[in-house]
Structure 1
Amino acid sequence: MKELLRTNNPVELSFLQALLADAGIESLVLDQHTSILEGSIGAIPRRLVVDDEDYHAARRVLAESGCLPDG
């Protein structure tokens, strides 16, 4: 698994997962339960990850949608 990004914004995560799903790329949000346990104060960002073989395609999808820098 490779990390695409970290964020404290659950709406952004949901949107990004929907973009990836539309492109046929499965994703997973890590640290979601840890973030809830710490009281949802935003101290622990959630990580959006994809399989290693989907990483470059996922970055391309998110970059083309304007959600990631092109780098």
Structure 2
Amino acid sequence: MKELVRANNPALISFVESLLKELDINYFVADQAISAAEGSIGMFPKRILVSEDHFDKARNLLIDAGLEDELRPLNPGFWP
């Protein structure tokens, strides 16, 4: 699985989920439990992960939807 998006914004997470569902792209929302437990501090964002074989398709979908600024970098280096 590769990280596609990391965000604290529940509306953004929901929108990305709906886009992925629409194209039958399997995904996993990581860190839901810790994100809910910490409340609204925003220290623990949710992460949307997709399989490597659907990663490019999912990435292009979000670019087409105007969400390119929300995408994780392709080569993050030391960026967490």
TM-score (norm 2): 0.80
Runs of 4+ with >4 A deviation: none
Q: Which runs of 5+ in 2 are unaligned?
A: 74-80
> Is structure 2 residue 29 aligned with structure 1 residue 62?
no
Residue 76 of structure 2 corresponds to none
Q: Percent identity among equivalent residues?
A: 41
TM-score (norm 1): 0.89
Q: Distance in 2 between matches of 1:17 and 1:68?
A: 15
Q: Distance in 1 between matches of 2:43 and 2:30?
A: 14
- Offset, 1:46: 0.7
- CA RMSD, Structure 1 to Structure 2 (Å): 1.7
Deviation digits for residues 9-58 of structure 1 (CA, Å, limit 9, x no counterpart): 11110111101111121111100111111223211111011111100000
Q: What SS does structure 2 have at the residue aligned with 1:47?
A: strand
Q: Which runs of 5+ in 1 are unaligned?
A: none
Residue 23 of structure 1 corresponds to 23
Residue 4 of structure 2 corresponds to 4
Q: Distance in 2 between matches of 1:40 and 1:30?
A: 17
Residue 44 of structure 2 corresponds to 44
- Offset, 1:61: 0.5
